Amino acid sequence: MATKTKAEALNEHCSHVLSSVYPVVELILSYLPYRELESLSRVCQLWHGIVRKLREKRSTMSFAAFDGDDLVQGTKSFLNDMYTEPGTVFLFHCNILNELLETLILNAEDDAGADIISDEEKDKSYGEFVRSLLPCNCNLVALEAGGIVGTSSDLKEINEMEGEGAVSFLCLPKYNTQSKLEIVTISDSVDLNLVEKSYNNHQLKACLVFDVDPKFLPKRFGYTLLDEYAVLIAGAYVDNVCTMTDEFLNMELVSFYGNDVKVASVILPPPKSGCNNLKEKTEAAVVKLKKYNLPEKNSFAFMLACIGRGEGMYGERNVESSLFHKHFPNTPLVGLFGNGEIGCDFYDCASASGCDMKRRKSELPKLFHSYTTILVLVALT
């Protein structure tokens, strides 16, 4: 039998240390994205246990926005490199994206001098491409509209992108404690029985409704949730809705449950007589949202705007998103420019101070709008 050299023996010893010493392995694996952990968990029983422990600890949200030639490669890198496995993914993309997709891929490959995705991936729509990169048990809420709102991964920029090939993501984890946040999605149903009761004994706090056909959603559905259950209701009319299993839906209802969830919303004013002082009025509404004092450390927000607002109304880009970012610099903002808005000024004062949120129907605010913007803030305590 051949005698091992000193170098070979040292390498074998180092390999044994790296594969067997728990703190060393845990430290190394702690830097890896969740997808790499999936394959490494099958190396041995020790690594499997370490990976399980690491995945249980992770609860960070991820967000990003892409446009132009960086869109396809940016999407692939972002979804593959996420640190925490997503439980629910919100995807907002412009309605002209699939028309531009082939050109965007060709331009990106010309710049890179090589293929950036496989031939099989090139045959997919953008929605199919995204679904292929997500865990099969993930909730996907993919919304197509005339424009989108997105936040860069470093939180330095929030952009409103209208009428161009652009996408934005908000990826929320599965929380081990359901009181923290539990998200339930329901497709093509307006059955109150599915949402009105507490989910696993945790309180329903908010419902977001994304509707393609205005005739599909009865207005009494939203008013019942608001009036009888003191639930924040918000949403938008969009061009298309799809999930992990369905490409075309009439409606998607996204419910947020959790005793540790705080919610609030404000409506940004429509221009009643021109745009004089509109920016000041818009900022006043954002300041009102700020004064609700929801914790911002673990927060995210949705901007649901009319397609007639944005640059066309203000004469400059990113007015509303910039005002939000000014007052909420640590909160990612995502959203869309749709064909109508659902929502009102709402503060979850019942959970904050124990006050009675029951309201008479005569006192209910208007929920269904045009030419407005709804800002929804969700915070985890």
d(CA 316, CA 319): 7
Q: Which residues of 154-163 are buried (b: 16+ CB within 10 A; e: fewer)?
A: eeeebbbbbe
Phi-psi label, residue 188: left if phi above 0, alpha if psi -120 to 50, beta otherwise: left
For residue 267, list its beta bridge partners: 374
Instruction: Specify burial of residue 51 (Cβ count, 10 A radius: 0-12, 13-18, 19+).
Output: buried
- Amino acid 244 reads M
d(CA 219, CA 30): 48
Angle (CA) 320-324-328 rounded to 5° is 170
Is there a contact between 256 and 263 (Cβ–Cβ < 8 Å)? Answer: yes
Helix or strand run (H / E) with residue 161: strand 158-162
| Residue 33: alpha-carbon gap to chain centroid | 19
| pLDDT by position in tens, the chain (length 381) | 556 676 666 566 656 655 667 788 888 888 999 989 888 888 888 888 888 898 888 889 999 999 877 888 888 899 999 999 999 999 999 887 767 666 655 555 555 555 555 655 555 677 888 888 899 889 999 999 999 999 999 999 999 998 788 999 999 998 876 667 888 888 887 777 777 666 666 788 999 999 998 888 888 888 888 887 788 999 999 999 988 888 788 889 999 998 889 999 999 988 875 566 888 999 999 999 999 999 988 999 999 999 999 998 888 999 999 999 999 999 999 999 999 999 999 987 644 443 444 444 447 788 999 999 999 999 998
Is there a contact between 98 and 151 (Cβ–Cβ < 8 Å)? Answer: no
Q: Are strands 204-211 and 232-237 parallel, antiparallel or unpaired?
A: parallel
Is there a contact between 264 and 378 (Cβ–Cβ < 8 Å)? Answer: no
Enter the tokens of residue 95. Answer: 């309605």
Please count the CA atoms within 13 angstroms of the CA of 258 that sit on its side-chain side. 22
Angle of helix 6-20 versus helix 45-57 axis, rounded to 10: 40
Question: What are phi and psi for residue 261, nearest 5 degrees?
Answer: -95, 130
Helix or strand run (H / E) with residue 237: strand 232-237
For residue 302, list its beta bridge partners: 334, 376
The CA distances from residue 256 to 203, 329, 350, in Å, are: 9, 23, 16
- Overall size of the chain counted in residues: 381
What's the pTM value of the predicted model, to 2 decimals? 0.87
Q: What is the reported pLDDT for 360?
A: 41
d(CA 195, CA 181): 15
Q: What is the reported pLDDT for 126?
A: 79
Residue 15: CB partners within 8 Å, gap ≥ 6? Answer: none
Enter the tokens of residue 113. Answer: 């001098």
Q: What is the reported pLDDT for 354?
A: 38
